[in-house]
C-alpha cells in the first residue's frame, strides 16, 4: 500500500534545508528525505533516535552524517522521550489524516442512507468536502500483496500487541551493535504481538545487528517497504520468513 507524503517543490529553498544542502550536499538532502519516509511509516510519525540504527536501516555507512542531519539544521526535533520527530511532517500529516477522516465519515453516511432507503425528497448532501478534501488517496492493494497465514506455524498472534510502554522498556537498555528497539518499532508498526517481538529479539541474539537472523529481518522489512505492501497476518508471516526459511 502506498503511503502518502507531501513533497513541496520549493522544499530545498527553505532556510533550514538550504543550510543543510550547503553543508551536506545532495547526499545530506537525500538522507533528510529518507528519514522523513521512515517517520511517515512509523507510529505517531516518530522513531526512537538511534543514529546507528537509522543509518543501518538506510544503508548509509556515514553515521556521523545521519547524526548531523538530525541534530544540526533544525529540520528534525529530538523529543524529551528520545524520539526523532519532524514538526513539518507532523503538521502535514495531521491535515492529511483529518481529510481522510472526513472522507471515511462521508462514506459511512452514504452507506447509511443507501441501506435506509432514503427517498430523494428528504435526502441531504452526504458530505460537504472542499475540493482539497476530496482529492483521491493513494493506494495500491492487489491480491498479490496479500500474504495468507501459514497455520502450521506456532501461533504467536495471541496476547497484547506491542505498544508504547513495551517499546519504552525495550529502549531503556542500549548497547552498541544491538538494535532491539528497531525490531520493536517494526512489530508495533505492523500490529504484532509482544510474543512475536520477544521471539524475534531472542532469535536475533537480543537484536544484534551483525546477527544473520537480524540481517534477514531487516532485509525483509526493507523489501516490504520498497514494494509498498502490508502482510495480512504479520505475526505468522515474519516468523516464517525470518525464523524458518533459509
Mean pLDDT of 188-207: 92
Average pLDDT, the chain: 80
Beta-bridged to residue 78, according to DSSP, are 84
Is pLDDT above 60 for 123? no
100 has pLDDT over 50: yes
Q: Cα–Cα distance between 118 and 43 in angstroms, integer?
A: 40
Q: How much of the chain exceeds pLDDT 70, in percent? A: 79
Residue 69 near residue 212 (C-beta atoms within 8 A): no
What is the helix (H) or strand (E) element at residue 84, kind and residue range? strand 83-85
Domain residue limits, the chain: 7-123, 143-244
Cα distances from 203 to residues 13, 96, 215, 222, in angstroms, run 46, 38, 12, 19
What pTM was computed for the model? 0.45
On the question of pLDDT at 140 being above 70, the answer is no
pLDDT of residue 9: 80
Expressed in angstroms, the distance from the first to the final Cα of the chain is 27
Amino acid at each position: 500500500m502506498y503511503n502518502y507524503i507531501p513533497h513541496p517543490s520549493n522544499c530545498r529553498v527553505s532556510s533550514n534545508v538550504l543550510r543543510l544542502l550547503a553543508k551536506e550536499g545532495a547526499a545530506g538532502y537525500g538522507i533528510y528525505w529518507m528519514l522523513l519516509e521512515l517517520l511517515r511509516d512509523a507510529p505517531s510519525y516518530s522513531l526512537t533516535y538511534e543514529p546507528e540504527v537509522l543509518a543501518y536501516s538506510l544503508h548509509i555507512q556515514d553515521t556521523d552524517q545521519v547524526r548531523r542531519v538530525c541534530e544540526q539544521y533544525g529540520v528534525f526535533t529530538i523529543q524529551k522521550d528520545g524520539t526523532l520527530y519532524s514538526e513539518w511532517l507532523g503538521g502535514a500529516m495531521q491535515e492529511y489524516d483529518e481529510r481522510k477522516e472526513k472522507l471515511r465519515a462521508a462514506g459511512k453516511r452514504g452507506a447509511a442512507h443507501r441501506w435506509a432507503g432514503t427517498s430523494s425528497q428528504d435526502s441531504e448532501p452526504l458530505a460537504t468536502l472542499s475540493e482539497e478534501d476530496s482529492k483521491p488517496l493513494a493506494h495500491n492493494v492487489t491480491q498479490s500483496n496479500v500474504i495468507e497465514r501459514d497455520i502450521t506455524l506456532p501461533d504467536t498472534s495471541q496476547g497484547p500487541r506491542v505498544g508504547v510502554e513495551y517499546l519504552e522498556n525495550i529502549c531503556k537498555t542500549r548497547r552498541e551493535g544491538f538494535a532491539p528497539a528497531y525490531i520493536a518499532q517494526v512489530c508495533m508498526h505492523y500490529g504484532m504481538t509482544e510474543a512475536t517481538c520477544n521471539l524475534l529479539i531472542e532469535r536475533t541474539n537480543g537484536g544484534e545487528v551483525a546477527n544473520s537472523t537480524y540481517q534477514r529481518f531487516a532485509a525483509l522489512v526493507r523489501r516490504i517497504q520498497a514494494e509498498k505492501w502490508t502482510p495480512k497476518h504479520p505475526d505468522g508471516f515474519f516468523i516464517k520468513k525470518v525464523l524458518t526459511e533459509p
